[in-house]
Structure 1
Amino acid sequence: MQVVFMNRLVKGSRSDEEAVAQVWIGEEEGIWHLGWRDFQINEEYLDSSWYEGVSWNELLCIYRHGLAIKLGEGYRPIIEGVFHEEEEQRYRGQSVQKLYCYSEHHPDENVYNELCAWRRRRAVSERKAPYFIASNKLLRLISSFIPHNVEELLQLPGVGDNKAGDYGTDILEITAKVTRNHTFPLNWVYAELNEEVYMTWVFKQKEQKYRLELDQYRMRRTLMMGISEGKNVEQLEQVCNTPRKEIIEALEELEKEGYDTEHLIQIELQEMAIVEQNAVWSAFEELGDNFLKPVLQKVYGEGKDTLARGNIDQLYERIRMIRIRFRRDQDSRRNVG
């Protein structure tokens, strides 16, 4: 086997001795191999196989996720740039990330819980999803740094003039009554935050990111295999262990990337009348394909009339299927032109 990449990593132990390991990638007769080697004190070693197969993309997903776990455990590489990301910018946004890291380690749980309760009330009153009001990350920042006025609130990442104007009064009503033992601006965070604590936090974030990428890659691979085997969406839900809505969203992404999804679309639309399909197509021609709701209302009416036509989720799903065809047709016309 030919080793095409290897990196050495070290981790300090409680006895101040270094734990040493290697991560490596090899290739043999078209088969990729990925492994981890722990070196023992007696110069023996323990090998772990992370991957063996023909897909470089899957290997890369597994490599990044596995390495992020190890770095989160305290291992550090001899060679930097270990994630093999295109145009990786290690220090981009680092000051902002340090504020997030500090806030997750030093929240005021009482303030955080009060902010969460406020967000729920506003979400209900405005008929919005809670994360449109404020993300969990932002509420952690606020609960950790306790701004007492609008100027301080605006120094927090994720707070702009619009958000401060819409929600600043409510937020400050909660935070202004809380005593704090630090000041603004927040430059002191960068000196106070332990670098090792910060790096461990960074790698934990990467672990979550690469776990999601790996799950998405495997789901897409299973989805493409299922489409080629003639499975319908209900069957794909089962084999991919993924909600129906996410299957349809992945289908749209595959179509954008040039994969042929027409066979599945035919299966799903076979019970939809041709005249109904043509009406949806005409609505896309008239209204454009950016939004689905205007098309739904154009074809099926509004309110009770729409619901009387059938399951609203099913109607949206079928409209999205026809939109895939519509966009494919539009792209084909542009290419010919």
Structure 2
Amino acid sequence: MHLVFLNSLERKTGMDSTITAQVSICENQGIWNIYWNEPDATGTLQQDVWYEGAHWDEMISAFRYRLAEKMSLGFIPVIDGGMQGVPSVNGQGKSRMAQILYYYSEQHSNEALYDELREWRRVQAGKEGKAPYLIASNRALKLLAAFVPWYKEELQQLPGFGAAKTGAYAEGIVAITVKHERNGDFPLNWVEEGVDSEAFNGWFHKQHELKLKNDFDKKVEKRKLLEGIQRGETLDALEDQLSVPRRELIALIEELDKEGIPVDGLVNNELAAVPEQELTQAVLAFAQEGHRYLKPVLQHIYTPQELEDKDVNRIYEWLRLLRIRIRRETAAA
């Protein structure tokens, strides 16, 4: 077995005491292992296997997210240089301040205002024919509900609200927020002083841990999905095997397609169950309406009365798969 990486981490357990743990990456005949060694309450060293497998990218993802998990519990690397992918809470400038504002907003959001902003987003998304998150994320709405900007210039001081977004939505947002009181004024320099640094550090690493865990889970799911596609599995079978909702499953298939990985077999097999007339209408609708949004394509194919007797979610599924086929055919032409 070859030792590829080794580092120690320490966590304070009292005024003058610390716990020291070690993380290591080893390789043996193409199999990667990640080990975490930490003493228990009696001082006996306990080993936890974080990963064992043949996939380098999955191993790196597992290393990063499990390390972030430990750092959220207070472990600090003795040598910081080998911890790629795990950010430091001691960053400078706008990036660090943005994270502090996000942290504060989670603790001090005005829930009544947050609900009003969600309703505004829902209505605005309907007017523009967009998904609500493209108007503003939940995280962005939390910022608004915590700091309550009354003017466009104040709105622009919040992360994610640049010139384009404020130009499009400042009037609608401020019309709501101006009716609410706030606990502090702009600029927001006062926020950092009121944040407990230890609590913020734990939150910061926890956020990164969750992101990395999602990345790791997605890598594993995509690998298993690809293996299933290569075996000729159906969507129904893959849904059972991966325990992933069909909507997320198709999103993963779209990602594989964007990465240039062949998914034609699955796409063609699933589309074979769709009536030929509906497929033909859908192809024409895509040609007229474009590929970006599916709702106009759906409305082009079916009348509201026809949709009453159909499973709209299943229609969207095969439309997404058909879009993959059309894009591939267009790129190959």
**Do the structures match in fold with TM over 0.5?**
yes
Q: How far apart, in 1, do the equivalents of 2:168 and 2:69 lie?
A: 38
1:60 aligns with 2:44: no
Write the letter of the residue equivalent to 1:311. D
Write the letter of the residue equivalent to 2:180. I
Which residue in 1 is equivalent to 2:115? 117
Q: Tell me whether 160-169 or 190-199 shows the greater mean CA deviation.
A: 190-199
> By how many angstroms is 1:307 displaced?
4.7
Which residue in 1 is equivalent to 2:209? 207
* Root mean square deviation of aligned Cα: 3.1
1:38-57 CA distance string (max 9 Å, x none): 25799853221111111111
Q: How far apart, in 1, do the equivalents of 2:283 and 2:154 lie?
A: 51
1:135-165 CA distance string (max 9 Å, x none): 4433443444354555444433344243321
Q: Tell me whether 188-197 or 67-76 shows the greater mean CA deviation.
A: 188-197
* Structure 1 residue ranges, 4+ long, deviating more than 6 angstroms after superposition: 40-43, 86-89
> By how many angstroms is 1:267 displaced?
2.2
Write the letter of the residue equivalent to 2:317. E
Q: How far apart, in 1, do the equivalents of 2:268 and 2:152 lie?
A: 55
Q: How far apart, in 2, do the equivalents of 1:3 and 1:30 lie?
A: 13
Q: Residue 315 and residue 40 in structure 1: after superposition, are their counterparts in 2 closer, same or farther (change >3 A)?
A: closer
Q: How far apart, in 2, do the equivalents of 1:148 and 1:294 lie?
A: 36
Which residue in 1 is equivalent to 2:76? 76
Which residue in 2 is equivalent to 1:303? 304
Contact in 1 for aligned 2:68/2:86 (Cα 8 Å): no
Q: TM-score, normalised by structure 1?
A: 0.83
Which residue in 1 is equivalent to 2:225? 223
- 1:260 is paired with a residue whose SS is coil
Structure possessing the higher radius of gyration over alpha carbons: 1
Write the letter of the residue equivalent to 2:53. G
Q: Residue 103 and residue 281 in structure 1: after superposition, are their counterparts in 2 closer, same or farther (change >3 A)?
A: closer
1:277 aligns with 2:279: yes
Q: How far apart, in 2, do the equivalents of 1:207 and 1:250 lie?
A: 21
Q: How far apart, in 1, do the equivalents of 2:249 and 2:330 lie?
A: 23
- 2:178 is paired with a residue whose SS is helix
Write the letter of the residue equivalent to 1:115. L
1:157-181 CA distance string (max 9 Å, x none): 3442433211212112022xx5x3x
Q: How does 1:77-226 map to 2 (within 5 A)?
A: 77-80=77-80, 82-85=82-85, 91=92, 93-105=95-107, 107=108, 112-122=110-120, 128=126, 135-147=137-149, 151-159=153-161, 160-175=166-181, 180=183, 182-226=184-228
Q: How far apart, in 1, do the equivalents of 2:307 and 2:188 lie?
A: 53
Contact in 2 for aligned 1:119/1:134 (Cα 8 Å): no
Which residue in 2 is equivalent to 1:245? 247
Q: How far apart, in 1, do the equivalents of 2:37 and 2:136 lie?
A: 43
> By how many angstroms is 1:286 displaced?
4.5
Q: Which runs of 5+ in 2 are unaligned?
A: none
Write the letter of the residue equivalent to 2:65. H
Q: Residue 246 and residue 44 in structure 1: after superposition, are their counterparts in 2 closer, same or farther (change >3 A)?
A: closer
Q: Residue 320 and residue 147 in structure 1: after superposition, are their counterparts in 2 closer, same or farther (change >3 A)?
A: closer
Which residue in 2 is equivalent to 1:4? 4
1:49 aligns with 2:55: no
> By how many angstroms is 1:34 displaced?
0.3
Q: TM-score, normalised by structure 2?
A: 0.84
Q: Tell me whether 46-55 or 122-131 shows the greater mean CA deviation.
A: 122-131
1:176-228 CA distance string (max 9 Å, x none): xx5x3x44311233344344333222101101101211221222122122222
> By how many angstroms is 1:275 displaced?
4.5
> By how many angstroms is 1:15 displaced?
4.1
Q: Residue 114 and residue 131 in structure 1: after superposition, are their counterparts in 2 closer, same or farther (change >3 A)?
A: farther
1:37 aligns with 2:37: yes
Q: Tell me whether 203-212 or 116-125 shows the greater mean CA deviation.
A: 116-125
Q: Which runs of 5+ in 1 are unaligned?
A: none
Q: Residue 234 and residue 29 in structure 1: after superposition, are their counterparts in 2 closer, same or farther (change >3 A)?
A: same
- 1:51 is paired with a residue whose SS is strand
Q: How far apart, in 2, do the equivalents of 1:158 and 1:95 lie?
A: 13
1:233-274 CA distance string (max 9 Å, x none): 122111121111111121111122222222212321222244
Contact in 2 for aligned 1:115/1:139 (Cα 8 Å): no
Write the letter of the residue equivalent to 2:176. D
1:265-305 CA distance string (max 9 Å, x none): 2321222244543443344345433333333344x243224
- 1:173 is paired with a residue whose SS is coil
Contact in 1 for aligned 2:118/2:141 (Cα 8 Å): no
- 2:159 is paired with a residue whose SS is coil
Q: Residue 133 and residue 87 in structure 1: after superposition, are their counterparts in 2 closer, same or farther (change >3 A)?
A: closer
